[in-house]
Structure 1
Amino acid sequence: MTALDQSAKPTRVRYMIIGLLFVLTTINYADRATMSIAGTAVQHDLGISSISLGYIFSAFGWAYVIGQIPGGALLDRFGSKKVYLGSILAWSLCTFSQGFASWMAPASAVIALFILRFMLGIAESPSFPANARIVAAWFPDRERGTATAIFNSAQYAALIFFAPLMGWVTERYSWHYVFFIMGTLGVLAGLSFYKIVHAPHSHPRINKQEFDYLTEGGALTQLDKKGGSDTRVKASWFVIRQLLTNRMLCGIYIGQYCITALTYFFATWFPIYLVKERGMSITEAGFGAAAPAICGVAGGILGGILSDRLIKRGNSVSVSRKTPFVIGMLLSVAVLLCNFTESETLVLVFMALAFFGKGLAALGWAIIADAAPRQVTGLSGGIFNAIGNIAGIVTPIGIGYIVQKTGSFDLALVFVAAHSVLAMFSYLVIVGPIRRFTLRLPDGSIARATTPSAASPRTVHA
């Protein structure tokens, strides 16, 4: 039987693709969170202040922001696979190398950690735009919200699977082993990526039925194919200016900045909050961070499913994407309730509710895939992620100063909750209808995308 036999069942290669993206993104976020788990031990061994630790945390954010637009442009030029593979191997090396800082003099170790965290940010910068690009190529419109929610929920899975492990390794052995273990896992994941992930038009396991299903459903199956269906538009200031001045996109950027502020609180200061403010051990904090993260995964997947179901029932993209976002941001304000209890159990309950809400709202990558011009999906994702991750600079440093000056996390939690309120305002007032943005070319014409090609993939199987 050949792939041309229309009775053949479609393959399900896209599920294998999203499964691997979930694993990769889990390791990606665990590598970012290594310092938050090891941070208390690092402070003790190196004798550094909360402000200094905040700057070490922020080094990743500075570089991650700087690398977004170049990373997005590289994705559009060279394709998702080549750029993403290089990113995985580079960030794994940077993670592994941080373990050697423990054998340096304290002052040198602080500088080395800052530099390596900065390099980690550069290396990881193409990762989420690449995830979004791969999902746009492999999933039709009506499945994209769920697929995006799956890889996005990996940020919580990182805390579930790796926070307890990293906490135990730190207490049982030493904090530098955390970096050695995570760096090694990253290299192994990169090898798996190389073997499994290909573009739809060239994947050896996809058959014609699945390929046609993707193409007819709006998946950008020809995205990385030379001579593909969409008009190529080179990255330029003329294009970037359009992406930065559109009201809808600006509202989406603000929302992403706000939700990313919550992400960086949970990925940097949250375990330290549990240790310093709530008196938990490092191991207890690792397990304590994992418990609410389970709710984050549940919220993330539920948000994607709810959004896609609303679309299938005939609701507009705006209603389908905004509804989970606004409800989720409202629930995330529960982080403030931690200031009004001394119970460790209630703290974890309130944090779990906030995690769940943040997960429910984490549809930004699906939204930018819905709104970005087809010709510059990588660049659009890079700008979106760059603006969002400015929060990775502001949040760790801001909370570091708040904690250092007040001796408490109370105002830090107010700072975090305020971002949830601003995110709701942005989506309800600024964004307006969510629809595909159309670029204009320098000659004044509109950059048009032709009808997606229905050409069969290079190799197909029944």
Structure 2
Amino acid sequence: MAALPRSARIKTVQYTALALLVLSGVVNYIDRATLAVANPLISHDLGFSPAEMGLLLSAFLWAYAFAQLPAGALVDRLGPRLMLALSLGLWSLAQVAGGLVQNFTQFFGIRMVLGLGEAPQFPTSARIVRDWFNVRLRGTATGIWNCSSTLGTALSAPILTFLMLTFGWRWMFAIMGLFGLVVAVAFYALHRNPNEVALTEEERQYLTEGDTAPQGASVTWAEWKRLFGFRTTWGMIFGFFGVIYVTWVYNSWLPVYLEQDRHLSIASTGIVAAIPFLCGVVGSILGGRLNDWLVTRGMAPMNSRKYPMAGAMVATAGFTTLAALTPNLTVAVIAISISLFLLYVASTSAWAMAPVAAPAHCTASLGAVQNFGGYIGGALAPMVTGFILQGTGSFTAALLVGAAVALVAAVGYVIIVRDPIPAAAEDDIAGLPAAAV
């Protein structure tokens, strides 16, 4: 079938949406890194112990993980425009408040609010791709917005270090929070949901090609619960657990690994640690392009996401094992860089699965459920790695555990993820027949 044409108005909405999603995603990842960058100064000024700092670091991840479940349903009910503007405003206010805290309890609460506020970011992005992009372009669009996570990680250290050294850690929090509020206002002012635009019939056909439910429909509680009755949902949860587990092994421990196991100086670590995450930017964009290229070559949209994701995770297991076992620093850094490249191929493919696996009005809900599974892995990874490091004095075993998680996740993803989830009207919700678990 020939590709449906895009109008000039659709292109403008698409480019504006992607620019806003990348900007807000970068702010999202920089904001969550503020505590890690300012860790030594905050510990000194407020008298926090290492154990208390560990609790503060984990507070965000647990709140973020469990907030995914309601966040996706709220995005599908309230619409991306309002929901992302509100969430940006909430987490930005939490950042501003982070510069005012005086004790551990206040800081713990602020980090929890930050996690709650940031939770809708990626489910919203998945829904916007479903709303405004034809099925043949959804992989590329997903790769572009998803690169904001690794780009934000790469930019966080230099930007936050500059702000902290110039203005102090309290003003670092406040400045980032105020900037986030500006981005929230810009998103609400510039973005529109499809039902807020007088679309022509040709534009509507372009946007809804292949959708299994009316684009303007709101998800119900029954439809949200129903997602858990399908094996595809559980396969996405299981697979993304592995992706985010390994990603957060590197996110949370890479600088310490380079300093402790590879004996780099702090200055050298700041430069070397950025290289793998920049490779992740490339992997995210190319992963999305690969998804769309496979569709144009005749592969089913589900398989065009499923097999690149699983293949990238198998290769990640291999290169993470190489990084763990090689005695050579250069080989280790190259292996980690390739691992991050592959992890973001896998991450983009997983997020690109949500717009093709779910009914249109459940896209953010399914993406958020998947992200919940991922960030259970993300919350466990720093803890498991820390316990292994404390017990062995080396990162070797921790990296090998990460490689094993990646391999098991890949195999599970291939076996469990099968068909798209049909719209509610297409099957018996009470009986949940063949397509269900």
> What is the letter of the counterpart of residue 285 of structure 2?
I
Secondary structure of the structure 2 residue equivalent to 1:21:
helix
Is the CA contact 1:167–1:283 (under 8 Å) kept in the aligned structure 2? no
Alignment of 1:243-258 (within 5 A): 243-258=227-242
Which residue of structure 1 lines up, in the alignment, with residue 18 of structure 2?
Answer: 18
Contact 1:275-1:282 at 8 Å conserved across structures: yes
Q: Residues 332 and 358 of structure 1 are in contact (CA less than 8 Å); yes or no, is this contact kept in structure 2?
A: yes
The offset of 1:392, in angstroms, is 2.8
CA contact (8 A) 1:137 1:220 kept: no
| TM-score where L is the length of structure 2 | 0.86
Deviation at 1:313, TM superposition (A): 1.2
Please name the residue that 1:111 is paired with: 105
| RMSD across aligned positions (CA) | 3.0
Specify the alignment match of 1:450 in structure 2. none
How many Å apart are 1:302 and its aligned residue? 0.7
Match of residue 401, structure 2, among 411, 415, 427: 415
Percent identical pairs in the alignment equals 33
Please say if 1:211 is aligned against 2:215.
Answer: no
CA contact (8 A) 2:43 2:49 kept: yes
Partner of 2:343: 358
Partners of 2:73 and 2:224 within 8 A in 1 = no
Choose from 266, 270, 280 the match for 2:250.
266
Distance in structure 1 (CA, Å) of the matches to 2:86 and 2:8: 35
Describe the SS at the equivalent of 1:315. coil
Per the TM alignment, residue 280 of structure 1 is displaced from its structure 2 partner at its CA by: 4.3
Give the match for residue 437 of structure 1.
422
Distance in 2 between residues matched to 1:269 and 1:117, nearest whole Å: 20
Q: What's 1:316 paired with? A: 300
Q: Which residue of 2 aligns with 1:63?
A: 63
Specify whether residues 374 and 173 from structure 1 end up closer, same or farther in structure 2 by C-alpha distance, changes over 3 A only. closer
| 2:372 is the counterpart of 1:392 | no
Unaligned runs of 5+ in 2: none
Change (3 A) 1:341 1:46: farther
SS at match of 1:153: helix
Matched, 1:336 2:335: no
Partner of 2:98: 98
Instruction: Tell me, yes or no, if the aligned pair for 2:213 and 2:360 is still in contact at 8 Å.
Output: no
Query: How big is each residue's C-alpha offset from its partner over 1:335-384, in whole Å with a ceiling of 9 and x where there is no partner?
Result: 33333345544333222111101011111121122111334333323322
Q: Which residue of 2 aligns with 1:346?
A: 331
Match of 2:281 among 297, 313, 328: 297
Counterpart Cα distance in 1 of 2:244 and 2:386: 17
Alpha-carbon deviation of 1:419?
A: 2.0
* SS across alignment from 2:236: helix
Q: Which one has a larger percent helix, Structure 1 or Structure 2?
A: 2
The alpha-carbon distance between structure 1 residues 128 and 328, as it changes in their structure 2 partners (threshold 3 A), is: same
Counterpart in the other structure of 1:380: 366
Counterpart in 2 of 1:126?
A: 120
Corresponding pairs, count: 424
Aligned to 1:76: 76
Q: In the superposition, relative to structure 1, how do residues 386 and 128 fare at CA in structure 2: closer, same or farther (>3 Å)?
A: same
Cα drift, residue 413 of structure 1: 1.6
User: Quick one: distance in 2 between partners of 1:8 and 1:319?
Assistant: 29
Q: Is the 8 A contact 2:214 2:360 kept in 1?
A: no
1:222 Cα deviation from its structure 2 partner: 6.6
Which of 1 and 2 has higher RCO (CA within 8 Å, sep 6+)?
A: 1
**1:296 CA displacement:** 0.5
Q: Which amino acid aligns with 1:351?
A: I
Aligned positions of 1:162-201 closer than 5 A: 162-170=156-164, 174-201=168-195
Deviation at 1:241, TM superposition (A): 4.6
CA deviations over 1:274-308 (Å, ceiling 9, x no partner): 34444445554333332111110111111110110
In structure 2, how many angstroms separate the alpha carbons of the residues matched to 1:8 and 1:411? 53
Residue deviations 1:426-459 (CA, integer Å, cap 9, x gap)? 122222x34233435666699xxxxxxxxxxxxx
Distance 2:7 2:247 in 1: 44
SS of structure 2 residue aligned to 1:16: helix
Distance 2:181 2:252 in 1: 23
SS of residue in 2 equivalent to 1:389: helix
SS at match of 1:141: coil
Shift of 1:417: 1.8
Counterpart CA distance in 2 for 1:181 and 1:427 is 41
Greater shift, 293-302 or 71-80, is seen at: 71-80
Maintained 8 Å contact 1:36/1:269: no
- Unmatched 5+ stretches in structure 1: 1-5, 447-462
C-alpha separation in 2, matches of 1:169 and 1:270: 22
More displaced stretch, 274-283 vs 160-169: 274-283
- TM-score under structure 1 length normalisation: 0.82
Residue 221 of structure 2 aligns to a residue whose secondary structure is coil
Q: Equivalent residue of 2:422, what SS?
A: coil
Aligned equivalents of 1:371, 1:31: Cα separation in 2: 31
Shift of 1:9: 5.3
Q: d(CA) in 1 for partners of 2:143 and 2:167?
A: 35
Q: Deviations over 1:382-414 (max 9, x none)?
A: 322222211232122222222233333222222
Cα deviation, 1:241-276, whole Å, max 9, x if unaligned, reads: 532232222111101111111232233222333344
Q: What SS does the aligned partner of 1:142 have?
A: coil
- 1:455 is aligned to none
1:88 aligns with 2:81: no
The verdict on how the C-alpha distance between 1:191 and 1:277 changes in structure 2, with shifts beyond 3 A counting, is farther
Q: Which amino acid aligns with 2:281?
A: V
Matched residue SS, 2:137: helix
Asked if structure 1 preserves the Cα contact closer than 8 Å seen for 2:6 and 2:203, the reply is no
* Partner amino acid, structure 2, of 1:20: L
Cα displacement (A) at 1:215: 2.7
Instruction: State the alpha-carbon separation in 1 of the partners of residues 224 and 140 from structure 2.
Output: 29
